[in-house]
């Protein structure tokens, strides 16, 4: 009886020691998340109901900042630009990544497959600002390399960054080129998880390559496609670096995005309450978009 009591006390003391050790190990992460994530989020939500320019005392304005979001034409245009960018960029990013992943997974030497994986992922590790700066020189209307190449085949200079359509096209291309590598790796992993027996059975039944793609590959990687689309949309809705460096939002407001307006309102015009209101609206839009994707996934996502 005494031995059982001692054993029970020892186990209880061991559990308390493990609990204290776990608390000590988790404390830096919990404190970091609280200070640098939760606290700024709470402050931003609260600040959306105030007018504050850092210098003066915050003044409570209620829903005036949200009313400004609804009535300000620049803000409305920036959100419309963002939505249009998301539709085009995400569709192109997923399409390019899927096509390249299918091609890379075809029969080829292992070293060549590894080379393509590294090459396609490499742009993602580069700084978005530095890539955009280089691209701004390549697409410059007067001395850019792209127009120089077009001149060799008899085509006149194109105002890539000085026209509404050209600026948005370049912004989309630069963004997709730098970000499709991550989506590509997701699709490569999804394709690698499909059992080869399924394709062998399809070959025996005489299914063509296109039929295998539409009836086997796409349904079986639909969970991967869901993850890729959710992450791509969340990232695209927060685009800032590429249009800011390439065009500063121009010409006019044709490439101005929601995050650019947040930056402009907060750090150029010192309207931190308005910037917080725009950021809060953008967060709600991201949450709704993510919820809709998971809601629709019940019809289009198939799990093995």
Q: Using CB atoms within 10 A of its CB, is residue 12 exposed (0-12), middle (13-18) or buried (19+)?
A: exposed
**pTM (2 decimals)?**
0.87
SS3 state of residue 181:
helix
- Give buried/exposed letters for 210-224 (b at 16+ CB in 10 A, else e): eebeeebbeebbebb
State the average pLDDT for the chain: 87
**Domain locations in the chain?**
2-47, 64-300
Q: What is the pLDDT confidence band of residue 275, given thresholds at 50, 70 and 90? A: very high
Residue 201 has pLDDT above 90, yes or no: no
* pLDDT-wise least confident of 1-10, 67-76, 109-118: 1-10
Q: What is the pLDDT of residue 17?
A: 75
Q: Over range 5-20, report the average pLDDT.
A: 71
Residue 91: the pLDDT is: 95
51-66: b or e for each residue (b if 16 or more CB lie within 10 Å)? bbeeeeeeeebeebbb
Count of helices and strands (H, E) across the chain: 15, 2
CA diameter of the chain = 98
Decide if 123 contacts 181 (C-beta within 8 A): yes
Q: Which of 172, 173, 179 is nearest to 81 (CA)?
A: 172
Tell me what pLDDT residue 7 has.
Answer: 62
Tokens of 297: 């996934």
Fold of 64-300: MetI-like fold (1.10.3720)
Band (8; pLDDT cuts 50, 70, 90): low
Residue with tokens 């245009």: 77
Rounded to an integer, the average pLDDT of 126-140 is 91
Q: Residue 256's closest CA among 174, 167, 141? A: 167
CB 256 within 8 A of CB 193: no
In this prediction, residue 304 has a pLDDT band, given cuts at 50, 70 and 90, of: low
Highest mean pLDDT among 32-36, 142-146, 279-283: 279-283
């Amino acid at each position: 009886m005494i031995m059982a009591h001692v054993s029970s006390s020892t186990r209880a003391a061991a559990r308390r020691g493990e609990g204290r050790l776990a608390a000590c190990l988790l404390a830096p992460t919990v404190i970091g998340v609280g200070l640098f994530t939760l606290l700024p989020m709470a402050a931003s939500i609260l600040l959306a109901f105030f007018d504050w320019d850092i210098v003066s005392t915050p003044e409570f304005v209620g829903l005036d900042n949200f009313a400004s979001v609804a009535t300000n034409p620049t803000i409305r245009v920036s959100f419309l630009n963002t939505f249009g960018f998301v539709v085009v960029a995400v569709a192109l990013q997923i399409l390019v990544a899927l096509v390249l992943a299918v091609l890379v997974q075809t029969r080829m030497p292992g070293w060549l497959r590894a080379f393509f994986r590294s090459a396609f992922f490499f742009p993602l590790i580069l700084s978005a600002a530095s890539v955009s700066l280089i691209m701004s020189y390549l697409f410059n209307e007067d001395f850019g390399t792209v127009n120089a190449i077009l001149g060799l085949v008899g085509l006149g200079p194109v105002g890539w960054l000085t026209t509404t359509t050209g600026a948005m096209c370049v912004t989309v291309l630069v963004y997709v080129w730098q970000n499709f590598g991550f989506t590509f790796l997701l699709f490569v992993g999804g394709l690698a998880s499909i059992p080869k027996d399924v394709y062998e059975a399809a070959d025996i039944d005489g299914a063509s390559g296109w039929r295998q793609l539409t009836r086997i590959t796409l349904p079986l990687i639909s969970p991967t496609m869901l993850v890729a689309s959710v992450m791509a949309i969340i990232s695209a809705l927060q685009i800032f670096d590429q249009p800011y460096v390439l065009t500063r939002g121009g010409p006019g407001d044709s490439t101005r995005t929601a995050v650019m307006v947040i930056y402009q309102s907060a750090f150029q015009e010192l309207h931190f309450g308005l910037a917080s209101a725009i950021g809060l609206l953008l967060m709600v839009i991201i949450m709704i978009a993510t919820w809709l994707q998971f809601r629709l996934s019940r019809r289009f996502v198939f799990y093995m």
